[in-house]
Amino acid sequence: MCGIAGFFSQRPVSSDISSAMLAALSARGPDAQHASTWNAAFDPCEGAAENALLHARLSIIDPRPQADQPMPNSRADIWICYNGEVYDWSEQRQELERDGYQFRTHSDTEFILLAYEAWGIDRLLSTLRGMFAFAILDLRHGKVHLARDRMGEKPMLYSLIDGNLAFGSLVRSILPFLPTTQRTFNPEAIDAYLAHRYIPAPRTIFKNISRLENGHCLEFDLKTRTLSKRRYWQPQTEQQPWLPALQHAVTMRTVADRPLGVLLSGGVDSAVIASSLVNHPGAAVPTFTATFPGSSLDESSDAAATASALAFSNQAVEIPSSIAADFERIIADLDQPFADPSCFPTWYLAREVSRHVKVVLVGDGGDELLAGYKRTAKHLRTGWRRHLTLPLRIRPALSGKGRGKWISELSMSWLESYSLRFSGLTPAQRMFLQPGHALSRLCYWRAPDWKETAPVSQLLAVDFANYLPEYILQKSDLCTMAHGLEARAPLVDHHLFQRLMAVAPVKRYTRPAKQLLAPALDPRLPPDLLHRKKRGFSPPLSHWLHHDLAHRLPGLGSRLTALTQGQLNEQAVNDFAGAYLNGEESLAEQVLQLLILDVSLSQLNALAHPDTH
């Protein structure tokens, strides 16, 4: 697990720029940082600045320096810069060795490098199992290949301006490469953030930086300076039992040369993972649980009961009641505007867990696999209007989240209106905050990457294109990597997903949800586990807004108006915050969303234009 960046430029690039790009990745890769540079003719040389691969390493597999990156092949005509972990490749390694390829390390990095050399990009991508974002520089053919894993566990961002390509794990790792005049915020991305609490791919907060979609790859031609993008994976139903695939998905993700643990909640998904580790060789795997003392959302007692039943140790990590001291640091670690309130407890949990282990298994993806969210069932109840859309006029409104939403819902397609089930601000609220900015779209989600006919499957396909990669998995990646902690999610293994696709909907989508997983749970676990109410991971927003963050509310309107070049209206923002302070508690999440936007844009503006600050 690492941070990656690089550029392929026709203009001179100073060493200060590459140093700043690498420095932005330092938290993701605390164990080693390296840069490889080339001149325009691609001869390795000292101090060249036109082309570079940059790598910050968190050493998990083969921690020796021989496995550091950027890594070349034996002839140094193919190089890789890679972030992630791929699994279950020992047989393919043996195949490569039989074909004469010699390995110097035990790392998956070298496997990917040599597999590309032997097979090319298409077979390589079809073979890899796990999470990855990589750049492969092929000097033989004058090509650069960038790719992101199927489910979107690892990030890949990029920028192409006037034939100059840069890429990185973070927006902040690419920003130093951009000419100062090209470092402008994207008004459409700001509105998308207001709509969804994050910025859906392929947009980012900057006009000239894009986010590669999950399951996609890029090819850059170093001669023509052209960039092409394609989707390399479409799920194919696997007519085989899913339970062995689940067990294998967990087992293969325990391979590590650093200590391993499990993030354990009181719910089903993490209990399934813990159940699969009961017979794990060696010492019992430690488990960690976030605890919110005095809150009805606290699951620590349920998690402790699960751990006890399976004979695992469990450490309860108390989430601080105050976030004032860490608020700006957390926003910085989220890279660009991102307003999931659960990011805060996730960040604190990861900080403590990283002091004990360097790899954790997490339960992300279970709700998307098996329709576990309440919103899915709620939206299905409106399926009667799947082909009905009404041309209703949406008016600006300052109101609670639910009021006026039905007009927006009926103005959108049934599938598109699914976004309103967990949006940030309603279209009416967005219009209120941006009175001079016409909404170009009511929803910024990507269309599903594959066709589904059953309504519930259509909703989950939307989740797999948007909510899972760009919200759930992005949160996990950013919050864990901020502390040099690697998170692995067995439930998003693509073979497991394809086998579950073959399960009849009546068995896969149940109420209560996830009854299908019963055979994967250890019989010693509490019998009520599958019937527990889903409690989520929500922090004490009201306390934070009225205490920790209250000093940030005065002047919020003027700051956001300046940062967005007038896109957000000063008086409207102040009225919005004032309505919350005057008792409109339903606006709490949206007010936090505006505070996060304020801090994030302030930080990014200072990085983009340091001479003005």
Averaged pLDDT, 519-544: 83
Q: Which strand (E) or helix (H) includes residue 317?
A: strand 314-318
> Do 556 and 562 touch, CB atoms closer than 8 A?
no
Whole-angstrom distance, CA of residue 595 vs CA of residue 384: 38
Phi-psi region of 432 (alpha: psi -120 to 50; beta: other; left: phi over 0): alpha
In Å, how far from its chain's centre is CA 113? 25
Say if strands 164-168 and 130-138 run parallel, antiparallel, or are unpaired: unpaired
Residue 403 pLDDT more than 60?
Answer: no
Report DSSP letters for 186-225, one per residue. -HHHHHHHHHHSS--TT--SBTT-EEPPTTEEEEEETTT-
User: Exposed, middle or buried, 167 (CB in 10 Å: 0-12/13-18/19+)?
Assistant: buried
> Do 365 and 468 touch, CB atoms closer than 8 A?
yes
CB atoms within 10 A of CB 581: 13
Whole-angstrom distance, CA of residue 362 vs CA of residue 351: 15
Averaged pLDDT, 372-385: 88
- Using alpha carbons, select from 317, 312, 316 the residue that is nearest to residue 285: 312
Residue 392 pLDDT more than 80?
Answer: no
In degrees and rounded to multiples of 5, residue 255 shows phi and psi of -75, 115
Averaged pLDDT, 481-489: 97
Q: Which residues lie across from 51 on neighbouring strands?
A: 8, 38
- Using alpha carbons, select from 489, 444, 483 the residue that is nearest to residue 467: 444
> How many CA atoms does the CB half-sphere of 212 hold within 13 Å?
37
Residues present in the chain in total: 613
State the pLDDT at residue 43: 59
Q: For the ranges 289-303, 388-402, 512-526, which has the lowest average pLDDT?
A: 388-402
Whole-angstrom distance, CA of residue 482 vs CA of residue 1: 12
Residue 314 pLDDT more than 80?
Answer: yes
Amino acid at 532: R
Residue 155 pLDDT more than 60?
Answer: yes
In degrees and rounded to multiples of 5, residue 355 shows phi and psi of -80, -10
- pTM of the predicted structure, to 2 decimals: 0.95
Averaged pLDDT, 472-490: 97
Q: For the ranges 32-41, 78-87, 481-490, 518-527, which has the lowest average pLDDT?
A: 32-41
- 336 or 61, which is more confident? 336
Residue 471 pLDDT more than 50?
Answer: yes
3-class SS at 326? coil
State the pLDDT at residue 574: 97
Q: Tell me 252's DSSP state.
A: H
Residue 553 pLDDT more than 90?
Answer: yes
Lookup: tokens for 459: 């909703």
Averaged pLDDT, 335-358: 96
Q: What is the percent of the chain with per-residue pLDDT over 90, rounded to a whole number? A: 76
Amino acid at 261: G
Averaged pLDDT, 518-523: 94
- 592 or 408, which is more confident? 592
- 536 or 170, which is more confident? 170
Q: Where are the alpha helices (DSSP H) in 324-381?
A: 327-333, 343-353, 366-370, 374-380
Whole-angstrom distance, CA of residue 250 vs CA of residue 268: 15
Angle subtended at Cα 156 by Cα 439 and Cα 595, rounded to the nearest 5 degrees: 45
Averaged pLDDT, 326-330: 98
Whole-angstrom distance, CA of residue 35 vs CA of residue 3: 12
State the pLDDT at residue 388: 82
Confidence of residue 150 (pLDDT cuts 50, 70, 90): very high
Residue 402 pLDDT more than 50?
Answer: no
Residue 102 pLDDT more than 60?
Answer: yes
- Using alpha carbons, select from 341, 270, 260, 278 the residue that is nearest to residue 299: 270
- Using alpha carbons, select from 503, 481, 180 the residue that is nearest to residue 353: 481
State the pLDDT at residue 537: 66
Q: Average pLDDT, whole number, for the chain?
A: 92
Whole-angstrom distance, CA of residue 535 vs CA of residue 315: 20
Q: For the ranges 44-53, 178-187, 228-237, 461-470, which has the lowest average pLDDT?
A: 44-53
Domains of the chain: residue spans and CATH? 2-231 (3.60.20.10), 242-370+465-531 (3.40.50.620), 384-453 (no CATH), 541-612 (no CATH)
What's the Cα-to-Cα distance from 609 to each of 157, 167, 574, 612, rounded to whole Å?
20, 20, 27, 6
Q: Which residues lie across from 134 on neighbouring strands?
A: 82, 147
- 505 or 132, which is more confident? 132
Residue 193 pLDDT more than 50?
Answer: yes
Confidence of residue 41 (pLDDT cuts 50, 70, 90): low
- 531 or 74, which is more confident? 74
* Bond into 554 cis (ω within 30): no
Residue 196 pLDDT more than 80?
Answer: yes
> Do 539 and 342 touch, CB atoms closer than 8 A?
yes
Q: Which strand (E) or helix (H) includes residue 51?
A: strand 51-57
> Do 510 and 383 touch, CB atoms closer than 8 A?
no
Question: pLDDT tens digits, residue range 431-467?
Answer: 999 998 988 899 999 999 888 888 999 999 999 999 9
